[in-house]
Amino acid sequence: MTPATRLRPAARTAVAQSARMTAQEAAHSIAFDLSRARDALERGKPNAALVLVELALSSAEALSEALPCDQLAVGELVVDLPARDARLAGEPLHLSRRTFELLAVLASEPGHAWPRRVLYERVWGSDLSHTSRALDATAGRLRATLGHSWIRTVVGVGYTLTAPAGHAG
């Protein structure tokens, strides 16, 4: 029996586990498996290293399938980037172009405190943070659409998006 054949049940387990992991947890798991594989090679155990590398690869493939880059999900909020569509609990959200773009940036890293300067650059294409209140107005429209608890102001920084407890998915 080859190491790859022995891996199949473990790979299936990795697929199931990675679907329940966050992207960060999966990345740490993959890095850990690769680190163990390097250690196995240093100890002269190439078969064990091969099994660990294949496990890391299967976890990476499962993560890639579970996290399509064209859809962002935060709790019950789903942002479909190619379709420029956003839905909350299955209901379509009617957003202006800038409001959708702000939502897409915030949803790309939920919980991340996005600096105002970066949000202006990503949504408006230039840093207007010292002369404009457009970001505040757009964040206000987004709050009105999603509900106040979705968008949090990080004082002295900018904004963050998090799913409230009732919408955690």
Of 92 and 58, the structure prediction assigns the larger pLDDT to 92
**What are 89-143's pLDDT values in tens digits?**
889 999 999 999 999 999 988 898 989 988 998 898 887 767 788 999 999 999 9
Residue 127 to residue 30: CA distance in whole angstroms: 37
pLDDT at 14: 42
Q: What are the structural domains of the chain?
A: 3-66 (no CATH), 71-167 (1.10.10.10)
Confidence of residue 21 (pLDDT cuts 50, 70, 90): low
* Nearest alpha carbon to residue 142 among 169, 166, 119: 119
The pTM assigned to this predicted structure is 0.58
Residue 135 to residue 128: CA distance in whole angstroms: 9
Rg (CA), the chain: 21
Under DSSP, is residue 83 helix (H, G, I), strand (E, B) or coil? coil
**What are 43-53's pLDDT values in tens digits?**
999 898 888 88
